[in-house]
Structure 1
Amino acid sequence: MSDLSAATGVTDRPRGTARTSALQRFLDEQRPETPFLVMDLAQVRQRYQQLSTALPDARICFAVKANPTPDVVGELVAQGASFDVASPGEIDLCLARGAAPESISYGNTIKKRRDIARAHEQGVRLFATDSAADLANIAEAAPGSRVFCRVLVDNAGSRTPFGRKFGCTPEQAAQLLRRAAELGLDPCGVSFHIGSQQLDPQAWEHGIDAARRVFEDCAAHDVRLRMVNLGGGLPAGYTETAPPLADYLDAIEKSLESNFAERPELLIEPGRFLVGDAGVLRSEVVLVTDSCDGERSWVYLDIGRYNGLAETEGEAITYRLRTSRDGDETGPVVLAGPTCDGDDVIYQHARYELPRTLRGGDTVDLLSAGAYTASYSSVGFNGFTPLPTYCVDGDRRA
């Protein structure tokens, strides 16, 4: 089995040996029932520190949906992070792990009035919106709160784009923010999201340019905005090589300088970047069978679309793999999950080659699997249980 530090593609790890040994020790010694996800809190901590150092004036709001493991949230609370939440459950989780209410941004534009009221009662004062109906609910249920409006932008370059579900035009955003002021709310700024696992550092230009236009429109009507929410999109390390963090931040800085004479307050909502590379998902081979065409073997794992690998839909996210038989002769395979569902096929178009010696009971590790795996796991499709998560800390030796 190859060394984890070489396999995960994680960079900037000055204490990589300790972190590797913590994960590897867990995998080698603990051996829980598969499938399971194991997270290295040290890597989460390092990624947060890396981003906060590189973008020191930005408020970093962890997108809780990426990995809501309580210990992960608690680690980020300890680091001073803020949190982007989508539901009352995520608010409860953050508060239970010690987050201050003022550190929470209710970033979902689709929310019930009673959920807004509950968040306000808990002390949350920052809300996203993108519609007149939602804005009216915020004004009624969370009076005096700060609001920012999400604009719809081009998601080109993203492996998992958002389509047209969220956001409005810059003109509509300006109208909504002006209306927010009339309703007694504090219209603080503009947000956008250029798509998850964004591989084009220049993509943020679309959102920053749109934010500038909203700022100018509002200023012409004596409504002064002050915050730009840069959203998420910073990548993790899958089979496609992503540019380094510096390329993204350089592009963002240049766009801010060209669009704003006075630098706005910044907020950023990383999820995948903070937790993706910190996780290894261990699965077990259930069966290996010959294909009907005789060209590729089918490798069936005990993990699939419904118990952790939802992001393999359309083969959008292609994980790097490591097996217990690495080093043996390889051949082309189709990878599939364990359920009685014809759509539970993981990879059949992306070309994967795995050892020809793989048999039932062997292990296959999916690397950089810390984001959108356990959080996407179903509650029990076909009776398969949700994906459990364990945490280790590579900076603290046992």
Structure 2
Amino acid sequence: MTMMMHVPGAEALDRSSSLSTLEVFALTQRFDRPTLVIDPAIVARNYAELKAGLGRADIHYAVKANPAREIVAALIALGSHFDAASRGEIELCLSLGARPSTISFGNTVKKAGDIAFAHAAGVRLFAVDAPEELAKIAEHAPGAQVYVRLLVTESQADWPLSRKFGCDRPTALALMAEARALGLDPVGISFHVGSQTRRSGMWAAALDEMAGVWTAARAAGHELSLVNIGGGFPAFYGEAIEAAEDYAASVVGMVEARFPGATRIMAEPGRGLVGNAGVIACEVVLVSRKSATDLNRWVYLDIGKFSGLAETIDEAIRYQFVTPRDGDPVGPCILAGPSCDSADVLYEKRPMMLPATLKAGDKVLIRNAGAYTSSYSSVGFNGFPPLAVVAI
């Protein structure tokens, strides 16, 4: 557990008109290393809003987004289902009381032993996108239900997930036929439009693409009933997004119109459930310039790509920052992490505008950092400790 104590005089940092309760808490505590502070109550509120919009669709929380026990436990209590990417995530969910029937093994790249473990534990729903994976499931999870993950080429997401996962239409149809021959139950398809798909309208082209495969499969005699629409539900990073309920309702409406015969719809939100439920408290380590004529300052934080901010790769996710000097004149800066790896630069192509008065020792908050931060943090690259997590 990270050491935590009250910071004398920190009340001066409480700009209550612009800070959330979570952010005020993070500012008024002292941590001995970069720390993600999470609020499960915000996750519960997000779940309720998404569920209201998704209607009959089952929410399978993408555990990889944030595997904090407090978050998983809160979602179990709300009746959530779960998308697990590994044996470890399945074990986590089961240890907290999730029913095996609510867990989908959604990774298409699984060890044979992990498939056998999941099946023995009662998990019956598995993703597949290749013949060899199908053979492993048939051998180690006989009789299981499988859904075929499809390639998405029409993604408008900030963090696309194309190429590594999924297969094309001919391969998908062949896998469905082979699944039946192997004694498995090919119940449907899955896809992922890409993480942080900021507007619901951005789903339309991908859904059209996927609906073509669905229609072809049913025409070929496959009695599909399940559509797994994956994730893509966005969090707020400074650009306006639709209200969660409205966004989800819009997506489900498009799905209902395109997939006749789908009696079951699954959604796998991760970022949309936990993104705004976490804030990272960190610290400025150094402010410098490379020369007297350098136009940009370099601001180094005690957290970087390897300690939780991996999604700054290609500056895809642009976090917002709170500092004790907000209100002072601002200027551009290149933001970087503390490690000795030159790749550990967060924002350089589009420098961040931060107070010109920032200096070493200043506490900084990274807003809406509840998703894909603690789960991306290394165990100790360069000897820096992994990102700590505190729940309020």
Question: TM-score w.r.t. structure 1 length?
Answer: 0.90
Q: Does 1:112 align with 2:105?
A: no
**Cα deviations by residue, 1:292-351 (Å, 9 ceiling, x for unpaired):** 242111111000011011111111110011001111222211111101111111111223
**Cα deviations by residue, 1:10-46 (Å, 9 ceiling, x for unpaired):** xxxxxxxxxx335523531x32213110011111000
Secondary structure of the corresponding residue to residue 38 of structure 1: strand
Is the contact made by 2:332 and 2:353 (CA closer than 8 Å) also made in structure 1?
yes
Q: Which residue is equivalent to 2:132?
A: 133
Q: Which amino acid aligns with 2:138?
A: A
Secondary structure of the corresponding residue to residue 89 of structure 2: helix
- Matches of residues 84-163 of structure 1 in structure 2 within 5 Å? 84-163=83-162
Secondary structure of the corresponding residue to residue 6 of structure 1: coil
Q: Which residue is equivalent to 1:360?
A: 360
Secondary structure of the corresponding residue to residue 114 of structure 2: helix
| Distance in 2 separating the partners of 1:330 and 1:80 | 46
Secondary structure of the corresponding residue to residue 266 of structure 1: strand
Secondary structure of the corresponding residue to residue 376 of structure 1: coil
Q: Which residue is equivalent to 1:180?
A: 179
| Distance in 2 separating the partners of 1:4 and 1:279 | 17
- Matches of residues 1-398 of structure 1 in structure 2 within 5 Å? 1=13, 3=15, 6=18, 20-21=20-21, 23-28=23-28, 30-245=29-244, 248-292=247-291, 293-392=293-392
Q: Which amino acid aligns with 2:315?
A: E
- Residue identity over aligned pairs, in percent, reads 47
| Distance in 1 separating the partners of 2:115 and 2:262 | 30
**Cα deviations by residue, 1:193-224 (Å, 9 ceiling, x for unpaired):** 01111124233334433443333333334320
| Distance in 2 separating the partners of 1:166 and 1:245 | 26
Is the contact made by 1:135 and 1:180 (CA closer than 8 Å) also made in structure 2?
yes
State the aligned residue count.
379
Q: Which residue is equivalent to 1:11?
A: none
User: How far has the Cα of 1:260 moved from its partner?
Assistant: 3.3
| Distance in 2 separating the partners of 1:338 and 1:271 | 28
Q: Which residue is equivalent to 1:13?
A: none
Q: Which residue is equivalent to 2:9?
A: none
| Distance in 2 separating the partners of 1:371 and 1:5 | 25
Secondary structure of the corresponding residue to residue 159 of structure 1: coil
Unmatched segments (≥5 aa) in structure 1:
8-19, 393-398
Question: TM-score w.r.t. structure 2 length?
Answer: 0.92
**Cα deviations by residue, 1:51-71 (Å, 9 ceiling, x for unpaired):** 111112011001011001111
CA RMSD of aligned residues (A): 1.8
Unmatched segments (≥5 aa) in structure 2:
1-12
| Distance in 1 separating the partners of 2:253 and 2:71 | 32
